[in-house]
Structure 1
Amino acid sequence: MWYKSFWVFFRIFFTVFYRWEVRGQEHIPERGGTVVCCNHISNLDPPLLGSAMRRPIRFMAKEELFRIPVFSSLIRKFGAFPVQRGSADKRALKKALSILKQGEVLGVFPEGTRSKTGKLGEAHTGASFIALKGEAEVVPAAIVGPYRLFRKVTIIFGPPLDLSEYRGKKWTSQTLKDVTDRIMGEINTLLGESRELS
């Protein structure tokens, strides 16, 4: 009930204040564990991404946010869970894999932090590891801002990546880097396509 209420509220919010446009929803699998990987330009990205999808989505969020009274309770109701940034947080990893095993959707921002310029930054390999370990579909997504009142914000979802060549094999750090580069390359392509169509 809480998630649905947030979902409706933010759809109205982004429609009224940011004239949002959503493209490529048909690329999101209707069922099964799925990792949606997106660029990160604003604190509004998680609710924008969540409200643009028909399926509920869960997010990793920096643990500092869960120390803020009231806000902590709200983001938990929206499906977020804490992660310690800058470390191998086994608890958060276990939670992420559990979400995928249950056939849910996990939202990840591979850059790990917001881009101040709007351009893609260097990505971490965590999203790739989670997707491969969780045997999940990977859907790239791109948000084209900036977020300015009554100016259009666009979010576009791309087709799931074909990672079959990596399934069932032993992964190395280079493997994870290669998969991460593919994910970020697809996000960059979506950013370019979205700007061309604007």
Structure 2
Amino acid sequence: MICNVPTPREVLLCMNAMPHTADSHSRGRDIRRILIEDFDNGFTAMVREYQPGIYSGARRLTAGPHDAEDVAQDTFVRAYKALSEYEPERIAELKIRPWLWTIALNLCRSRARTKAAEFEFQESDAAITDEPEAFDEAAWVARLGSLNDAQRTAVVLRYVLDLPIAEIAEATERPVGTVKADISRALDRLRLTMKAEVLHAR
């Protein structure tokens, strides 16, 4: 029955590899403070805090794990070069996570252009649910891959990486309203696809 099919939001939340926690903002403040006081230690703390999420998202926005590793590594290489030239006042005001995602998304797009291919979503070992019978993740990877670029990126950042809408808007350099519309359209399309699949299977 259609009512037994998990909703797009439920499935995407099951795939969430980096859950958002209440103290994320406080950790961001701590990292900014350490960056100002002791740059190398602060940068190490920043990598430890944010690299898993960057890799997890890049894993779904590139052609495979090797590309995702390169994107994650290059993101922090570029971040190091930029931060080393920032004044303390600028670091103190920096919103680290969306700033890093701006770098990472640009790298993902650059790789896609170089390979003349659209973004592809790949299965991540870290994202496999403990209850695989609840849904076919491979099928969901294909469904997500059918969305357009903006919708895929917004959905992954919102439901898989658990970024707030405001941070997604900053990272993608798109208005908040546009990001919300991308997510809404993506969920609507996924919902219709799921219903059609269930009806076809009867």
TM bracket, shorter-chain basis: 0.3 to 0.5
- TM-score (norm: length of structure 1): 0.32
- TM-score (norm: length of structure 2): 0.32
The structure whose Rg is larger is 2
Pick the structure with more strand per residue: 1
